[in-house]
Amino acid sequence: MAVERTLSIIKPDATERNITGKIIDKLESAGLRVVAQKRVRWSQAEAEAFYGVHRERPFFNDLVAFMTSGPIVMQVLEGENAVATNREVMGATNPADAAAGTIRKEYAVNIEANSVHGSDSAENAAAEISMCFADSELVG
């Protein structure tokens, strides 16, 4: 498997509780390298655009409200099989279903405030990275 990149977001429930370092430690310990990172606060339009694929889902409005409720930390992670590796260290969407040792098992509050986002395919990773970062911000 070649080295690939994926998009990670540390969500407002985690920035609010001051646990971004604990989450980044999990990512780095899984072999992922942070090659770009910035802390931002999304506008409603930015959150709606990012989560556009979920527009028809019943939780969409709540999700946008949550993702704009505080700062987030966006990262590009690089490593062997980075998309799948990140999904593995994140754990299941619902922390009640997440495996022991995963970020969501240890830190998520509930199925919505679940501490992290991670791209779910190489194709979506490329689209999400270009939505969130300029090429010049990918510094290695």
**Contact residues for ligand IDP, defined by CB under 6 A:** 54, 59, 63, 93, 111-112, 114, 117, 120
Using an 8 Å Cβ cutoff, are 81 and 26 in contact?
no
Beta carbon of residue 139, minimum distance to ligand IDP (angstroms, whole number): 26
- Distance of alpha carbon 22 from alpha carbon 107, whole angstroms: 9
Residue ranges in 106-135 that form contacts with Mg ion under rule CB under 5 A: 120
Q: Which is nearer to ligand IDP, 99 or 139 (CB)?
A: 99
* Residue 117 bears catalytic tag: yes
Interaction partner, residue 63 (Mg ion, ligand IDP, none; CB < 5-8 Å by kind):
ligand IDP
Catalytic entry in 117, 125, 128, 129:
117
Phi/psi class of residue 87: alpha, beta or left (left: φ > 0; alpha: ψ in -120 to 50)?
alpha
Interaction partner, residue 114 (ligand IDP, Mg ion, none; CB < 5-8 Å by kind):
ligand IDP
Using an 8 Å Cβ cutoff, are 89 and 79 in contact?
no
Binding mask 23-62 for Mg ion (x = CB under 5 A): ----------------------------------------
Q: For the sheet containing 3-10, what is the strand order?
A: 33-40, 72-80, 3-10, 116-118
Q: Which is nearer to ligand IDP, 53 or 139 (CB)?
A: 53
Q: Which is nearer to ligand IDP, 43 or 110 (CB)?
A: 110
DSSP state string for 94-109: SGGGPPTTSHHHHH--
- Distance of alpha carbon 32 from alpha carbon 24, whole angstroms: 9
Cite the active site residues: 117
